[in-house]
Amino acid sequence: MNQKVIFIGGGAASLTSAVLLKKEEPSFDVIIVEKDKKLGKKLSATGGGKCNVAPLKDNPYVYNPAAIEMVESLFDEIPLHDYLNILESIGLDTKAIKDYGFYPIHESAPQVVKNLYHQINKLGIKVIYDEFVDYSEKDGRVLVELKEQFLEADKVVIATGGLNEDMRHIFESHGVITTKTYPGLCPIKVKEDVSNLFGCRFEAVITLLYKKNIVRQTYGEVQFKKDGLSGIPIFNLSSLISREENFKSGDYQISVGLPDNFEINILGKTIEEALFMLFKEEYVNYLIEKHKFNRKELIDLSLEKKLLSIIHNEPFTVDSLYEMKDAQVTIGGVSLGEIDQNFALNNNKNIYVVGEALDVDGICGGYNLRFAITSGFKVVFELLNN
């Protein structure tokens, strides 16, 4: 069974799968190719630095519609319990944190990378720091062209993360169809001047509207940046916006406020008193300045109606999304119609594509890491059994 397997990319799917493959079959010659000078760069920052490896419960319906059926089938084959056991077998013991998901016991994403790197060295997995340029077939094997050298392999697993233009060109030059890529799970820039709110955060009902029609409503912590909004609910809404290919600045609004059933008596109080009962000082000052309120004005019935509307539904106009470098996940990638049930390319069964390189993306909460790593594990089992 002495086969040479090359993993292209040094991210979560590649590192975990390479370690699993070598542990299960030491005779395999396993190589990882990473263009940067450091492995697991994105993995070391995931989950707010704590590495949320999975949700508490799988839900295929939180992924993009085109991926639901495939994700459901994958998770049926490698259910959450088995997935966590496999992680434990490669030195990644986990624990459940209520309302959040499964994390490493030490809750440190950088430590996860260090542990995997230790396993790579211990198992004798070779790491080559070079840039992937292209692939071709040679006598039934795969010839991998790097920037500075050529390698031959029996199988190649492409786990490069979100497709950049170079990777898109490589795939398309071999007749592999890709979908357009966009930033997902990222902050959102707004037209309003929120620079004085930088660093302010609070729990709120957050509603996404498209041309004044409600698209999605959620609840969670909104965080303000110098030019926009951030936080997990905002990240999830950004992926919805990103899929609207032709959206223009001003098409979307994000409403932020307290729940409609939140009862408060503000009659007879000053505007300043009422707002300070509900929000942090930075946000109070923003609302007063934006709406040109007199801080000391007493609230009567007409003013109460206006103020309650602002308290429950303060609108922010979406200008644009942050750039791809600020995104936690890439929307789009290799079309799922281009791979078989084992993640092998239809036009070259010696090449597999896994993780974020595929047109699969989910919401925040460990869903994307769960898919990426599990797709790599699926390939490992295929390699071991054939």
Name all domains of the chain by residue range, CATH numbers in brackets. Answer: 4-181+332-385 (3.50.50.60), 188-321 (no CATH)
Q: How much is the pLDDT for 22?
A: 98
Q: DSSP letters of 309-354?
A: HHHH-EEEEEEEEPPGGG-SEEE--B-GGGB-TTSEETTEEEEEE-
Compute, in degrees rounded to 10, the torsion defined by CA atoms 186, 192, 195, 197. Answer: -80
**Rounded Cα distance, 265 and 168, in Å:** 57
Kindly report the three-state secondary structure assignment for every residue of 248-281: CCCCEEEEEECCCCCCCCCCCCEHHHHHHCCCCH
Q: How much is the pLDDT for 1?
A: 58
pTM: 0.92
**Rounded Cα distance, 4 and 313, in Å:** 58
DSSP letter (8 states) at residue 65: G
**Element spanning 144, H or E:** strand 141-146
**Rounded Cα distance, 268 and 93, in Å:** 57
Contact predicate 333/178, CB 8 Å: yes
Contact predicate 380/17, CB 8 Å: yes
**Rounded Cα distance, 173 and 66, in Å:** 24
Contact predicate 184/237, CB 8 Å: no
Report the SS3 class of residue 306.
helix
Q: pLDDT 10s per residue in the chain (386 long)?
A: 579 999 999 999 999 999 999 999 999 999 999 999 999 999 998 988 999 999 999 999 999 999 999 999 999 999 999 999 999 999 999 999 998 999 999 999 999 999 999 999 999 999 999 999 999 998 889 999 999 999 999 999 999 999 999 999 999 999 999 999 999 999 999 999 999 999 999 999 999 999 889 999 999 999 999 999 999 999 999 999 998 878 899 999 999 999 888 878 899 899 999 999 999 999 999 999 999 999 999 999 989 999 999 999 999 999 999 999 999 999 999 999 999 999 999 999 999 999 999 999 999 999 999 999 999 999 999 999 98
Q: How much is the pLDDT for 243?
A: 86
**Rounded Cα distance, 202 and 235, in Å:** 15
Strand 101-104 vs strand 94-97: parallel, antiparallel, or unpaired? antiparallel
Q: How much is the pLDDT for 48?
A: 85
**Rounded Cα distance, 23 and 119, in Å:** 9
Contact predicate 295/272, CB 8 Å: yes
